[in-house]
A = this chain, B = another copy of it.
Amino acid sequence: MAKVDALIVERMQSPVPVIPALADHLIAAGGKRLRPLLSVAAARLAGARDDACLKLAAAVEFIHTATLLHDDVVDGSQLRRGKVAAHLIWGAPSSVLVGDFLFSRAFELMVDAGSMAALGVLAKASRVIAEGEVLQLTRAHELNLGQDMYLEIISAKTAELFAAAAEAGAISAGAPLAKCQALRDYGMKLGIAFQLADDALDYDGAAEALGKNPGDDFREGKATLPLLLAIERTGPSETKFWERTVAHRDQTDLDFRRAQDLVSRTGALDATLNLAADYAGAAKKALSGFAGPWRTALEDLADFAVSRSA
C-alpha cells in the first residue's frame, strides 16, 4: 500500500499549482484507503504477481476522491476527514474542476495498467455512482423512501465502487469469471455494510472523536436508514416533527438531539447496525472459494467496516 500511496502523490501533480494543493488537502488528510486495498487484495488473491493492480488501486482512490470533492460541493458539507472541506477554502469552482482533473487522471492510470476489461468495469462504476448521487439528490428528503430504495441508492453511490475495485483487481490478474464475480460480490456487500455503519455513525453520540460531524445527514434532511426506520417506528405523534425537520429542513440545534434520541429509543440505530453486520457476514461468505493470508485480510476488513466506532 506504500507503493500505492507513492503513485497517488506522483500522479496528483500538475503544473497548475491549485491542483496539487487542493488534492493534497484531501488526500493527505488520510482516509482509510479501503477501496485501493480492495483492488490490490483481490488481484493478489487471484494470483497477480506484477504491479498493474497498484495503478488500478491508485485510479480507484482518485475516482473516490473526485466524487468526495463533487459531493461536498453538492451537499454544501463543512467538514471532510476532520478538516475544513476544500470548497470552503478554494471555492466550489476549483473543487469541481480538480474533481474533473482527478477523474481524468484515474483513467490515465487505468490506461497505464493496460487492462481494457478492468477499465470498462471502473468506467461503468463511475457512471453508476453519478446515477446514485442524482437519485439521492432528487429523492433525499422523502420521509417514506423505503428500505429498498435506500439500499438501491447506497448500492449505487457507495457499494458499486467497492465492487468494481475488487472486480477490476481480479480481472487485471487474469482470474476466471467465477472468481471475478465472487470478489465483486464481496466488494458490493462490504460497501453496503460500510455505508450502513457510516449512516448509523451520523446518529451516534460517540462519533465526534472520529473527526466526523454527527448530525450532518439530519441537517441536510438526508433520508438514511436509521432515520427512515425511526420515522416508521415513531408513528403519527412525531409526523409533524419529521416533516418540519427533514422534509422542510426547518431545524434548531435541539432538534438533532431529539432525532438522535428517537433513532436510539426506537431501536432504529441497532437495526441499522445489525443489518450492517449481516452484510459484512455475507461479504465474508463470498470469499469461501479463496484461501491464504489475503482472504484473512479481506475478512478482517469486513469486520473493520462495521466496527469503525471502535
A interface, CB within 8 angstroms of B: 14-19, 66-67, 70, 73-75, 92-94, 96-101, 103-105, 107-108, 110-111, 114, 116, 119-120, 123-124, 126-127, 129-131, 133-135, 137-138
Contact = CB atoms under 8 A, between A and B. Distances in A.
Contacts of A131: 14-16, 19, 101
What is the copy number of this chain in the assembly? 2
A110 to B, nearest CB: 8
A127 B111 contact: no
A14 B127 CA distance: 10
Contacts of A116: 111, 114, 116, 119
Contacts of A134: 16, 18-19, 94, 97-98, 101
A103 B101 contact: no
Secondary structure type dominating chain A contacts: helix
B123 A111 contact: yes
A100 B126 contact: yes
18 contacts: A15-B131, A16-B131, A16-B134, A16-B135, A18-B134, A70-B97, A74-B93, A74-B96, A74-B97, A94-B137, A98-B130, A99-B100, A100-B103, A101-B134, A104-B127, A107-B123, A107-B126, A119-B119
> Which of A67, A97, A123, A137 is packed against the most chain B CB atoms within 10 Å?
A97
Nearest to A19: B134
Given A108-B127, A126-B104, A130-B101, A18 B138 contact: yes
A59 to B, nearest CB: 10
A108 B130 contact: no
A47 to B, nearest CB: 23
